[in-house]
Amino acid sequence: MPVKKKSTTKKTVKKKVTKKTIAKKKIPAAKKVVKSKAIKKVAKKSVKKVAKKVAKKAVKKVVRKIIIPKAPKIKKIIAPQEFKGGENIVYPTHGVGRILTIEKFQYDLVEEQLYVIQFFQDKLTIRVPFSKAKLIGLRNITSKPSMTRTLSILKQKPKIKKAMWSRRAQEYDQKINSGDIKLLSEVVRDLFRKDDQTEQSYSERQMFQVAFERYTREFAISSDMKFEESSAKIIEILNKR
């Protein structure tokens, strides 16, 4: 009986030893795995930090190398202001108008000042640069003494050429759009017809109406009269000749 007990004890000892040894052998392997994982994490973090630093340095170098272009200079066209806001003027191809205001305008890196002109009879508003006012022929309203002298032209007999109407129409059109008040009064004189005279063609009546309206509006402003009063006076002069 004692022999059997010894054998059992030996067997249990052996078993215990083997478990401990296995446990001891397994521990360093687990530690190695944990250490390797930690090393990998640290390595990844360090790689990311290094990559960020390198990227920042590269961006800074690129930014330094980029040359920021300078803003282009705006060229200002300086021209004298000959007219004021609220002043009545004459635009050769449109007749009498009024300067509503003066404004600045910028285009293609150029800045200049403009006259904003309104023509009440045509319900038209245009803008004229200061630099082009003389070239266009923009002028002041004719003075009262000069305007009264043009009335003597209206009192004269009409001077009608024997040329074809198409050629005469071109001449009249050039006079109307010239901006010259004397030439305009000549067109009014030549194209006016009394009630008992021969009828005019449609184009003749239209041309007379344009010339008459432009002349009468300027006459009214220079004489400080209403348009209706000035038109009645001019028609009276034309009928008396």
- Mean per-residue pLDDT over the chain, rounded: 81
The reported pLDDT for the residue numbered 64 is 57
Tell me which of 101 and 161 has the higher pLDDT. Answer: 101
Compute the distance between CA of residue 235 and CA of residue 222 in angstroms, rounded to an integer.
17
Where do the DSSP E strands lie in the chain?
Answer: 75-76, 88-91, 95-107, 110-119, 124-129, 139-140
Q: Are 187 and 205 in contact (CB under 8 A)?
A: no
The reported pLDDT for the residue numbered 53 is 65
Q: Is the pLDDT of residue 222 over 80?
A: yes
Compute the distance between CA of residue 130 and CA of residue 82 in angstroms, rounded to an integer.
8
Threshold 0.85, pTM exceeds: no
The reported pLDDT for the residue numbered 194 is 86
The reported pLDDT for the residue numbered 96 is 95
What is the per-residue burial (b if ≥16 Cβ within 10 Å, else e) of 151-164?
A: eeebeeeeeeeeee
Least confident of 5-9, 138-142, 171-175, 215-219: 5-9
Q: Is the pLDDT of residue 165 over 60?
A: yes
- The mean pLDDT of 60-85, rounded to a whole number, is 76
- The mean pLDDT of 8-18, rounded to a whole number, is 46
Tell me which of 228 and 15 has the higher pLDDT. Answer: 228
Fold of 75-140: Thrombin, subunit H (2.40.10)
Least confident of 32-46, 54-68, 90-104, 214-228: 32-46
Q: Is the pLDDT of residue 74 over 70?
A: yes
> Taking the CA atoms of the chain, what radius of gyration do you get in angstroms?
50
pLDDT (tens digit, 9 = 90+) per residue, 167-187? 999 999 999 999 999 999 999
pLDDT (tens digit, 9 = 90+) per residue, 90-148? 999 999 999 999 999 888 888 899 999 999 777 899 999 999 999 999 999 999 999 99
Cα distances (angstroms) measured from residue 235 to each of 78, 215, 241 = 45, 12, 10
Class of the 144-240 domain? mainly alpha
Compute the distance between CA of residue 11 and CA of residue 31 in angstroms, rounded to an integer.
31
